Amino acid sequence: MLERLEVKNLAVLEEVTLEFGPGLTVLTGETGAGKSVLVDALSLLLGERAEGMIRQGAEALLVTAWFDGRVFSRRVTNSRSIPRVDGEVVSLRELAEETSQHLTIHAQHAALTLLGRKAQRALLDALVDPALLQAYREAYTHHQTLLAEQERLEAAARERERRLDVLSFQIKEIDAAKIVPGEETELKREAEKLRHAESLRERVGLASSLLSGEHDSVGQIAQALKELKTAAKYDQGLWNLGRDLEAALDSLKAIARELEDYLESLEADPHRLETVEARLALLERLQRKYGDSLEEVLAFADSVRRELAELEGADERLALLEREIEGSRQELWQRGQTLSKARAEAAEWLSREATREIRALGMPEARFRVELAALSEPGPEGLEEVYLFFSANPGIHEAPLEKAASGGELSRVMLALVLLTGVEAATVIFDEIDTGVGGEAAWQVAERLARLAQTRQVLVVTHLPQIAARAQRHFQVVKEKGRVQVHAIEGEERVRELARMLSGSYSQAALEHARELLAETPLIPPRRG
């Protein structure tokens, strides 16, 4: 619901702040007073063009509206437009989309929701079981998903053979290497040993000779141990040293044997270095191509195997997919035909009832028709498009609503359709709805606006006292010295405005007539929530 509106420097309006409430609100005033200026202001929040709308002498115009606690604004200068939603700068399209969730305007120079295909379809679908539309949409989404997968697989098939060759080569190359995780570290250690085999032989041989042979270090230690054991007969304290020396001697003998074995192993395989370095070169080449480590190379191989399995099973999947698509197509058409039948019934009812309502609103010869045009292929919203046709006069063939109706006629058609279908934003503005309306039709329009105001906030720019008398809020628009002023009126001020609207004067008879109109008009308070 529109709660508050602030407008600055719009055309001949310098500044105004208005508070709104639920129910029916009217704006009245003399012809040429600028009653539609507030409609123009709110139209700017719906994305309408702002050229030439800045008040002469002002740098910028500003429109700010509060809807259900949220703030929508647009500041316009000669060089730019700055839309905002809740204080954040947005695009003009985003502002329009956000505002349209709260507000609809029906006027000759404003965005008319009835003119779009989407809106006309939504209007009819308001009379259809929503489960039917939801079921169709789900079937359509599923069908489109299958078609997209088919297209992807068919496109991939064109590259499949080339890709299969590449993947097969990669997996063969990796598998042939028979990689063992961690082997690279052991190979590098072995290569280092083999590269320095001569140095190792020389130094290990010297170490071995020091423990045996001409140096006979072990023999000397054995002689020392013999002497200690003899001495320990006379001093028991030497037994501990003797035991330690005996352990050391055993260790030295073991080391000497291991050194001899080590020297023999160095002579065992003189071509081993070549083999190890070749293996390392292979592993390094694989890592350059497929990963920074052997673990990554193996992980890459796993991913290749998965892709190979998918590619090799593509033909089978495509065959299965074709069967699924055929099933989903049949399901889509079945649900679409069920939806189409419900739409056809709703279209027949709406054509009849809307014609009756529109005729009661001052167009006694009007004809309204909803037509369903079959699509060549199922669309996201059904098997057909919805068109609204209208004729206001006898002898004139029905034409698309957007071409056949004037601004005032469109507003009254929309009033009838909203009452019949319930489709509309929470705040609805009608401008020119009473153009060419008088007599009994004026009462009918007033009664229906009051009825609509039971469930929505309705703002009407009007010259009909029958409508103005029904309002919960009444704003008067006055032009003085070239400037427009808007203010709320009640009590005697409202009586005088109704008198002017009734007879163009403030005579005693006109004032009495205005009081009688207010007293006789059933004023039903609007529903809240």
Q: How far is CA 27 from CA 136, 220, 490, 494, in A?
A: 44, 126, 13, 11
396, 398, 403, 405 alpha-carbon torsion, rounded to 10°: 70
Amino acid letter for position 252: L
Q: Is the model's pLDDT at 508 over the cut of 70?
A: yes
Q: How confident is the model at residue 146 (pLDDT cuts 50, 70, 90)?
A: very high
Please give the Cα distance from 64 to 3 (Å, whole number): 11
How are beta strands 382-391 and 103-106 bridged, if at all?
Answer: unpaired
Select from 127, 123, 126, 101 the least CA-distant residue to 114.
123
Residue range 1-108+408-529 in CATH 3.30.390.50: no
Q: Which of 3-12, 191-200, 322-331, 361-370 has the lowest mean pLDDT?
A: 191-200
Structure tokens given for 325: 């698509």
Q: Is the model's pLDDT at 286 over the cut of 80?
A: yes
What is residue 308's predicted lDDT score, i.e. its pLDDT? 82
Please give the Cα distance from 208 to 202 (Å, whole number): 10
Q: How confident is the model at residue 529 (pLDDT cuts 50, 70, 90)?
A: very low
State the alpha helices, DSSP H only, in 34-129: 37-45, 92-100, 117-125
What is residue 329's predicted lDDT score, i.e. its pLDDT? 96
Instruction: Compute the C-alpha angle 334/328/381, nearest 5°.
Output: 60
> pLDDT tens digits for 78-124?
889 999 999 999 999 999 999 999 999 887 655 455 567 888 899 99
Please give the Cα distance from 141 to 274 (Å, whole number): 63
Q: Give mean pLDDT, residues 439-447.
A: 91
Tell me the pLDDT of the chain averaged across its residues: 87
Task: Name every residue whose Cβ is closer than 8 Å to that of residue 292 and which is 6 or more positions away in sequence.
Answer: none
Instruction: Compute the C-alpha angle 517/520/523, nearest 5°.
Output: 100
What is residue 30's predicted lDDT score, i.e. its pLDDT? 87
What is residue 522's predicted lDDT score, i.e. its pLDDT? 63
Q: What's the predicted TM-score (pTM) here?
A: 0.67
Strand partners for 488? 475
> pLDDT tens digits for 288-317?
888 888 889 999 999 988 888 877 777 777
What is residue 253's predicted lDDT score, i.e. its pLDDT? 81
As annotated, the residues of the chain forming the CATH 3.40.50.300 domain(s) are 1-108+408-529
Of the chain, the end-to-end C-alpha distance in Å amounts to 10
Q: How confident is the model at residue 240 (pLDDT cuts 50, 70, 90)?
A: confident
Cβ proximity of 352 and 181 under 8 Å: no
